[in-house]
């Protein structure tokens, strides 16, 4: 197993540690614990760029990596958002239905990718998929920062006060959640069209 795949598996382990720490922070955490959650999330998310760079530089792009890397990415992004649903204070910025929609899209794309890769067709992630992950990571990071009490993340954006929702809730975290939701849906449509073309070509 190459270093790129090892880092991918390490990211999976760090993600599990992050989930446990967030669940601990819900009942027993201080601002310091939430800051640890934030930096652990940043380091774990950053490792995705490291393993991708190593895979390309060392020519270690494998079917295992093409399937496992996106799956672990979803563990980090969607899994973390699901765990954050257990934080009552975040419900105003992270409605459960938004996470459900994102989760559905991700599972459908993962299932389609596995089927197409199983047919011997390369179905690597597109750039839009990476941009989507960056937005999802940014949203999760901002939500975690909200729990640290960081003022510039929690501060309302007055020019968005006309949008629906409770007064004073449109801050950076809320905007990033919606931006990631929209790009997730758009990228899902793009992947669906690409998958249809790939399946037609393989048949």
Q: Lowest mean pLDDT of 14-18, 86-90, 186-190, name the range.
A: 186-190
What secondary structure does DSSP assign to 102-140, as a single string?
Answer: HHHHHHHHHHHHHHHHHTT---PPPHHHHHHHHHHHHHH
Domain spanning 3-202, CATH class: mainly alpha
Residue 99: both structure tokens together: 């996470």
Higher pLDDT, 59 or 135: 135
Cα–Cα distance measured from residue 172 to residue 181, given in angstroms and rounded to the nearest whole number: 14
Is the model's pLDDT at 7 over the cut of 90?
A: no
pLDDT in tens, 76-93: 999 999 999 999 999 999
Tell me the pTM: 0.87
What does the buried/exposed string (b/e) look like for 135-163 if buried means 16 or more CB atoms within 10 Å of the residue's CB?
A: bbbbbbbbbbbbbbebeebbeeeeeeeee
């Amino acid at each position: 197993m190459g270093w790129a795949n090892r880092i991918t598996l390490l990211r999976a382990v760090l993600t599990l540690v992050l989930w446990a720490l967030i669940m601990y922070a819900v009942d027993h955490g201080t601002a310091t614990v939430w800051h640890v959650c934030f930096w652990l999330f940043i380091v774990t998310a950053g490792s995705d760029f490291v393993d991708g760079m190593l895979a390309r530089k060392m020519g270690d792009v494998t079917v295992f990596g093409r399937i496992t890397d996106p799956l672990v990415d979803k563990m980090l992004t969607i899994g973390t958002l699901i765990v954050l649903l257990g934080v009552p204070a975040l419900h105003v910025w992270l409605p459960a239905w938004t996470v459900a929609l994102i989760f559905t899209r991700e599972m459908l794309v993962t299932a389609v990718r596995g089927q197409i890769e199983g047919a011997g067709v390369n179905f690597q992630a597109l750039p839009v998929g990476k941009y989507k992950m960056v937005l999802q990571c940014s949203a999760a990071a901002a939500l975690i920062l909200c729990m640290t009490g960081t003022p510039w993340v929690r501060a309302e954006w007055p020019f968005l006060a006309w949008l629906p929702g409770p007064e004073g809730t449109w801050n950076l975290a809320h905007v990033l959640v919606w931006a990631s939701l929209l790009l997730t849906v758009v990228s899902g449509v793009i992947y669906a069209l690409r998958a249809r073309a790939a399946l037609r070509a393989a048949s």
